[in-house]
Structure 1
Amino acid sequence: MSLSSKDIVPLKEVRARFTALAEEVCTGREKIITRNGKAYVAMIDAERLDYYHQLERQSLHLRLLDEAEAGLNDIENGNLMSVAELKAAYGRDGSR
């Protein structure tokens, strides 16, 4: 959904029209709240926020799968390091 100039609202206007703005948000109109003329926060429907969080988790899982696949490819190609080499490369001596 694209934003229009009607969806950009100064913070002091939000204080006066919060309920009306919340009703607009519930119909799918996201709002960008400005403070001193700059983007400050956004108002979005709670269900859409849940959806955005779900997408974020899915993206994280896909990145983890890509990293796991890269690790398996390294193993298959013989790109291995010993524990001592890892500690030397990353400056860890094993103590905590």
Structure 2
Amino acid sequence: MAYTAKDIIPLSQARANLSELVEEVRGGTEKIITKNGESAAALISTEKLERYYRMEKARIHMVLLNDAQRALKGIGEHGTEDFDEYFDRLETRLEKESGKSGGGDRDR
């Protein structure tokens, strides 16, 4: 959304005119509040904020679904393996890389 100079309000002016600003925001506009010449906050309607949260939640779900889809594809292509066998191989490899010999019991 493009903001006009009317939509950018210094904090001191926002304090003095908060009631009017709230009515404007409820009518569909958005306001940027500045402090010391820098943008500091946005004043938006609760409806727009709720929509933003719903969109963000949907985006997170899409990311999780995409990750799950890739994981399932990997399982389909490469299968699965026993965790204990994988962990034993990993432990052996790490011991070799670190120059240690022997294993030892581990807690899982």
* TM score, norm. by length of structure 1: 0.82
Which has more radius of gyration?
2
Q: Deviations over 1:7-46 (max 9, x none)?
A: 0100011110000111110111100000111110100001
Q: Which has the higher contact order (CA 8 A, sep 6+)?
A: 1
Any stretches of 5+ residues in structure 1 without a counterpart?
A: none
Any stretches of 5+ residues in structure 2 without a counterpart?
A: 95-105
Distance 1:16 1:30 in 2: 17
Corresponding pairs, count: 91
Distance 2:107 2:5 in 1: 57
Counterpart of 1:19 in structure 2: which amino acid?
A: S
Matching residue of 1:58:
58
Matching residue of 2:73:
73
Counterpart of 2:34 in structure 1: which amino acid?
A: T
How far 1:5 moved relative to its partner? 1.2
How far 1:2 moved relative to its partner? 2.5
* TM score, norm. by length of structure 2: 0.74
Matching residue of 2:36:
36
Q: Secondary structure at the match of 1:75?
A: helix
Stretch deviating more after TM superposition (71-80 or 57-66)? 71-80
Runs of 4+ displaced beyond 2 Å:
79-83
How far 1:80 moved relative to its partner? 5.4
Q: Deviations over 1:29-80 (max 9, x none)?
A: 1000001111101000011111110000000000000000010111111175
Counterpart of 2:38 in structure 1: which amino acid?
A: K
